[in-house]
Structure 1
Amino acid sequence: MTRLLPIAVALTATLAIPACAPKPPAGVDAELLAQEIGNAVGSDSTCVLFARAGGDGAVVHRYGTHLTCGRTLPSCDGSSVTAADMLKRAAKGEVLSLSCDTRLEDARTVGWATGPVAQAGPARDLVYVAVMEGDRALPGREIRTRIEAAFRVAKL
Structure 2
Amino acid sequence: MKKDKLDAAVSDAIGDPASCLVIADKASGRVLYRYNTATVCARMLPACDSPGARTVKDLADVTAKDGQARRLSCNTAADGSRGVAWASGVLPRKGYVYAAVMEGTRTFPGLMMAERIEPRLKDLGLD
Determine if the TM-score, normalized by the shorter chain, exceeds 0.5: yes
Whether the 8 Å CA contact 1:96–1:112 is kept in 2: the answer is yes
Equivalent residue for 1:68, pick from 16, 40, 47: 40
Q: Distance in 1 between matches of 2:11 and 2:42?
A: 19
Normalized against structure 2, the TM-score is what? 0.90
1:104 deviates by 2.7
Normalized against structure 1, the TM-score is what? 0.74
Whether the 8 Å CA contact 2:3–2:33 is kept in 1: the answer is no
Q: Which has the larger radius of gyration?
A: 1
SS in structure 1 opposite 2:9? helix
Q: Identity of counterpart residues, as a percentage?
A: 35
Displacement over 4 Å in runs of 4+: none
Counterpart residue number, 1:3: none
Q: Distance in 2 between matches of 1:90 and 1:101?
A: 22
- If each structure's strand is expressed as a fraction of its own residues, which one has the higher value? 2
Q: Distance in 2 between matches of 1:88 and 1:58?
A: 9
User: Does residue 30 of structure 2 align to residue 58 of structure 1?
Assistant: yes
SS in structure 1 opposite 2:98? strand
Whether the 8 Å CA contact 2:14–2:117 is kept in 1: the answer is yes
Partner amino acid, structure 1, of 2:6: L
User: Does residue 82 of structure 2 align to residue 112 of structure 1?
Assistant: no
Give the total of aligned pairs. Answer: 124
Q: Distance in 2 between matches of 1:128 and 1:58?
A: 11
In the alignment, structure 1 segments of 5+ residues that lack a partner are 1-27
Listed one character per residue, the Cα deviations across residues 32-79 of structure 1 (whole Å, up to 9, x for unaligned) are: 111011001110011001111133x22121111111101000000221
- If each structure's helix is expressed as a fraction of its own residues, which one has the higher value? 1
Whether the 8 Å CA contact 1:36–1:153 is kept in 2: the answer is no
What RMSD, in angstroms, separates the aligned Cα atoms of the two structures?
1.4
Q: Distance in 2 between matches of 1:138 and 1:116?
A: 20
SS in structure 1 opposite 2:107? coil
Listed one character per residue, the Cα deviations across residues 119-138 of structure 1 (whole Å, up to 9, x for unaligned) are: 43xxx211010100001111
Counterpart residue number, 2:72: 98
Superposition map of 1:16-55 within 5 A: 28-55=1-28
